[in-house]
Amino acid sequence: MTAMATLPETPYYRATGGEVALFETCFERRLPLLLKGPTGCGKSRFVEHMAAALNRPLITVACHDDTTATDLLGRYLIRGDETVWCDGPVARAVREGAILYLDEIAEARPDVVVVVHPLTDHRRELFLERHDEVLRAGPEFMVVASYNPFYQRGLKELKPSTRQRFVCLSFQYPAPAVEREILMGETGIDAATAKKLVALAGKLRQAEMLGIAEVPSTRLLVDAAYLLSAGLPPRLACRTAIVEALTDDHETIKAMCDIVALCF
Give tens-digit pLDDT for 173-199: 999 999 999 999 999 999 999 999 999
* Residue 45 near residue 103, CB atoms below 8 Å: no
Distance, CA of 192 to CA of 230 (rounded, Å): 16
In tens, the pLDDT along 204-258 reads 998 766 788 888 999 999 999 999 999 999 999 999 999 999 999 999 999 999 9
What percent of the chain has pLDDT above 70? 94
Confidence category of residue 110, pLDDT binned at 50, 70, 90: confident
Quick one: which of 68, 66, 128, 126 has its CA closest to 98? 126
* 51 has a pLDDT exceeding 70: yes
Superfamily for the 2-170 domain: P-loop containing nucleotide triphosphate hydrolases (3.40.50.300)
What pTM was estimated for this model as a whole? 0.88
Q: Are strands 167-170 and 33-36 parallel, antiparallel or unpaired?
A: parallel
> Which residues are CB-contacts of 67 (< 8 A; sequence separation ≥ 6)?
1, 61, 107, 108, 109, 112
Q: What integer is the mean pLDDT of 152-174?
A: 82
pLDDT of residue 103: 95
CA dihedral 15, 23, 223, 180 (to 10 degrees): -10
CB atoms near residue 252 (< 10 Å): 17
Quick one: which of 26, 49, 14, 58 has its CA closest to 173? 14
* 153 has a pLDDT exceeding 50: no
The single-letter DSSP state of residue 240 is: I
What is the pLDDT of the chain when averaged over all its residues?
A: 91
In tens, the pLDDT along 66-94 reads 888 999 999 999 988 889 999 999 999 99
* Residue 100 near residue 59, CB atoms below 8 Å: yes
Distance, CA of 110 to CA of 97 (rounded, Å): 25
pLDDT of residue 206: 87
